């Protein structure tokens, strides 16, 4: 290998932020992830779509080790996923996660929800953490709600607080597992707008969603899953106008013509 090609190799590998190789996962007899190979580079927005039960959410949850894998490897920023303990807590700070249900602490205010992880995991100074929290709450459009409790907020507001809470940890990558599927239709857009803005700001994002409009406009790449496998991946324009696989064509014809 010449020095130039070695240097190139090096550049390529440092651009890779999340790398899954031959990942397999079973739930009992069900083979939910089958030989998954997926690489996400820094600043890339990857939207994962597919029918229910295709393994999308499981894939998302293996990346911050909420689900363990049976075989294969997952690495984040060049390091394999840690097994447990402090290392795992640190990993989870590097990999922000936004769930279907907002998972906010009900007995803490919005501000406390966004401050807590910074102080506990990142060891931030409380005053600085609160400043950062207020900044982020403003950024996602819920600054005025800082002293309320989650139950006093709409679903859309709660989900935006959840996004702010994940961002407060300065994650290297953000995972979104169907972040709008529990929301009323009029609240979906306010959450998608925040996500669109994050994408524009260069945040690395892996988004499992049914929102095809978001996939078209914000994704750099669409990954289509069915039956635990990645069936195809392509740029959104190509995927939506000319899917290569029968499975994807079938899926799109069902969802785009209703």
Q: What is the pLDDT of residues 174-191, one digit of tens each?
A: 999 999 998 998 899 999
For the cut 90, the answer to whether the pLDDT of residue 255 exceeds it is: no
**Assigned fold of 15-256:** Rossmann fold (3.40.50)
For the cut 90, the answer to whether the pLDDT of residue 100 exceeds it is: no
**Count of CB atoms situated within 10 Å of the CB of 248:** 22
What is the chain's length? 258
Please give the Cα distance from 205 to 220 (Å, whole number): 10
88-98 as b/e: b if 16+ CB within 10 A: eeebbbbbbbb
For the cut 70, the answer to whether the pLDDT of residue 58 exceeds it is: yes
Strand 16-27, strand 71-76: pairing: antiparallel
The predicted model gives 5-20 an average pLDDT of 67
The predicted model gives 224-245 an average pLDDT of 96
End-to-end alpha carbon distance in the chain: 54
Over the stretch 189-232, which tens digit does the pLDDT of each residue have? 999 999 999 999 999 999 999 999 999 999 999 999 999 999 99
Q: DSSP string covering 47-96, please?
A: EEE-STTSSHHHHHHHHTTSS--SEEEEEETTEEPP-SHHHHHHHHHHEE
Q: What is the pLDDT of residue 180?
A: 94
Q: What is the pLDDT of residue 8?
A: 44
For the cut 90, the answer to whether the pLDDT of residue 131 exceeds it is: yes
Q: What is the pLDDT of residue 257?
A: 63
For the cut 50, the answer to whether the pLDDT of residue 61 exceeds it is: yes
Q: Where are the domains of the chain?
A: 15-256
Q: How far is CA 182 from CA 12, 57, 93, 178, 240, in A?
A: 38, 14, 24, 8, 25
Both tokens of 48, joined, read 């994962």
Please give the Cα distance from 179 to 205 (Å, whole number): 12
The region of weakest confidence among 20-34, 79-93, 101-115, 196-210 is 79-93
Among residues 78, 117, 69, which one has the least CA distance to residue 96?
Answer: 117
Contact in structure between 236 and 219 (CB atoms under 8 Å): yes
Residue entry with tokens 């501000």: 111
For the cut 80, the answer to whether the pLDDT of residue 37 exceeds it is: yes
Report the predicted TM-score, pTM, of the whole model to 2 decimal places: 0.90
| Region label for 209, one of left (φ > 0), alpha (ψ between -120 and 50) or beta (otherwise) | beta
**Count of CB atoms situated within 10 Å of the CB of 173:** 22
User: Please, which pLDDT band fits residue 13 given cuts at 50, 70 and 90?
Assistant: low
Beta bridge partners of 232: 224
For the cut 80, the answer to whether the pLDDT of residue 4 exceeds it is: no
**Count of CB atoms situated within 10 Å of the CB of 44:** 21
Please give the Cα distance from 68 to 63 (Å, whole number): 9
Q: What is the pLDDT of residue 5?
A: 47
| Mean of pLDDT over the chain | 90
């Amino acid at each position: 290998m010449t020095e130039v090609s070695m240097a190139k190799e090096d550049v390529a590998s440092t651009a890779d932020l999340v790398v899954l190789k031959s990942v397999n996962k079973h739930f009992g007899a069900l083979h939910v992830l089958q030989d998954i190979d997926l690489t996400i580079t820094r600043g890339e927005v990857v939207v994962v779509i597919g029918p229910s039960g295709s393994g999308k959410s499981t894939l998302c949850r293996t990346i911050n080790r909420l689900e363990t894998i049976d075989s294969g490897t997952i690495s984040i920023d060049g390091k394999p996923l840690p097994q447990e303990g402090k290392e795992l807590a640190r990993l989870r700070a590097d990999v922000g996660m936004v769930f279907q249900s907002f998972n906010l602490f009900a007995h803490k205010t919005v501000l406390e929800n966004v401050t807590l992880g910074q102080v506990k995991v990142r060891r931030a100074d409380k005053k600085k953490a609160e400043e950062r929290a207020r900044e982020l709450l403003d950024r996602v459009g819920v600054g005025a709600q800082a002293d309320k409790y989650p139950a006093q907020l709409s679903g859309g507001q709660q989900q935006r607080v959840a996004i702010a809470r994940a961002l407060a940890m300065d994650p290297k990558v953000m995972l979104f597992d169907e972040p709008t599927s529990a929301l009323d239709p009029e609240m979906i857009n306010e959450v998608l707008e925040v996500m669109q803005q994050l994408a524009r700001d260069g945040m690395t994002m892996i988004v499992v969603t049914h929102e095809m409009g978001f996939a078209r406009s914000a994704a750099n790449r669409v990954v289509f899953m069915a039956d635990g496998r990645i069936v195809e991946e392509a740029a959104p324009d190509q995927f939506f106008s000319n899917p290569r696989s029968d499975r994807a064509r079938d899926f799109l014809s069902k969802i785009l013509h209703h």
